[in-house]
Amino acid sequence: MPYGLPRKIRKAFIVQALLASLAVLLGGYLMALVLKYGLLNAVLHNEAQYYWQQRALSPGLAPPNTYNIRGYLQPAGQGQDALPEPLRVLQPGFHELLAFDQLVLVDQQAGERLYLVFQRVPLYRVVFWSGVLLVLLTIHAVSWMTYRASWRLVAPVSWLARKVSLWDPRHPDASELAPDRLPPEVQGETRQLALALHRMAGKVTAHVARERDFTRDASHELRTPLTVIRMASDMALTDSGLTPRLQRSLQRIQRAGRDMEAVIDAFLLLAREVDVEPQSELFDVGEVVRYEAANVEELLQGKPVQLRVRIEGGQMLMAPPRVMHVVVANLLRNACLYTDAGEVEVQVTAGRVVVRDTGIGMSREALARIFEPFYRAEGGREQGVGLGLPIVRRLCERCGWRIELDSHEGQGTTATLHYR
């Protein structure tokens, strides 16, 4: 989990430690400034004031000369030869001589100048910055211990997330989430979540098994009566005494049976696992289109609509032929049902089947939702329940095909199937 909760917690503690370290360093720097320009400045001024007061009482009093403070006095009217060279250029005020690591106060009264030099001891700096370093180390140590404690709290959640991420949605293996197999550290809300996921995975597995069993049993039960219908109609058609009307009815029963078998095969294809390749064979797309065009001619009886079929050469395709039957049949049936005058044209070219009509068409809003299950455009015909085109798109996606629709209200619709 590259962007999981542990990573976020780790980043949060790193940022916290960096900000705290920056605050400590900034505080140490500000403290050094206060010590240098505040406290030491005040100490030197107080020392100078005390010296002038004592000198007024004892005119020959020598300047201060201690371990940290060295004093120099320049009487009025005398030169600076007695002063160290770095002090000769200094004017009255507080100065810092970085080259000599010194703080100097030049105080002048009655023409005399007092130079108080504070010699900073390097040990002071070592002690000061050692304290800062100790504070930084303490902050980092506390941050690390807090992070470890937080990591132990979220570790069960991370473990659970890793296990769930490895599940196959179609066959979730929740055996490791069984109550007797959970690690001891998985407790509290995390344990409740793991048990809930374990129960849910069991329900999903049972549901998938029921769906698979239903698909298998339903296909078997539906094929049996269809086989009987087909065989009975074949035997009936052998009777030489049939009237033309009865013969046409039997032929329609045969075609409807074959269409039903194709629909069953298509549904079985959608119900199979995605990684299971559908059974394919080499067939002529043009023959499929001719067959389906003949089936929909009865939908145009009594309408001033002409059905045109244009096939350019032999278009062979390795795919499930019954899926192509279902897709083409849906597209042609829609074109015929929603066209009252003009023509319906189906064209087969290399890699494409195009169905055009001059029917009622669709608005942009309806076209944007036409592949939604059970959606039917307002003002449309009463035929159908809004499942034909959604099924067509799912079948196309399953076979690696692509379906496109272009429609204008009152001008007709063009459906293009790209099968290569």
Category of 93 on φ-ψ map: left (φ > 0), alpha (ψ -120 to 50) or beta: left
Is 127 a residue whose pLDDT tops 60?
no
More confident residue, 65 or 11: 65
Of 276, 300, 329, which residue sits at a domain end? Answer: 276
Q: Is residue 162 part of a domain?
A: no
What is the reported pLDDT for 192?
Answer: 83
Pair (289, 323) in one structural domain? yes
Angle at 333 between CA 392 and CA 282, to 5 degrees: 55
Q: Which of 256, 276, 296 is the last residue of a domain?
A: 276
pLDDT digits (tens, 9 = 90+) for 223-232: 778 888 888 8
* Residue range 135-155, pLDDT digits in tens: 778 877 877 887 777 777 777
- What distance in Å separates the CA atoms of residue 369 and residue 332, rounded to the nearest whole number? 20
Among candidate residues 29, 24, 28, 31, the one with its CA nearest the CA of residue 140 = 24
Task: Identify the band that residue 2 occupies on the pLDDT scale cut at 50, 70 and 90.
Answer: very low
- What average pLDDT score do residues 329-352 get? 92
Quick one: 11 and 116 in the same domain? yes
Q: pLDDT of 157-171, one tens digit each?
A: 777 777 777 777 666
More confident residue, 1 or 302: 302
Segment among 199-203, 264-268, 287-291, 332-336 with least mean pLDDT: 264-268
CATH number for the domain spanning 287: value is 3.30.565.10
How many domains are there within the chain?
Answer: 3
pLDDT tens readout for residues 76-101: 878 888 888 888 888 999 888 877 77
- Looking at the structure, tell me whether residues 297 and 390 fall in a common domain: yes
Same domain, 289 and 405: yes
Residue 158 lies in a domain: no
* Residue-number span of the structural domain to which 405 is assigned: 281-418
Q: Which of 372, 288, 376, 279 is nearest to 334 (CA)?
A: 376
User: Is this structure's pTM higher than 0.85?
Assistant: no
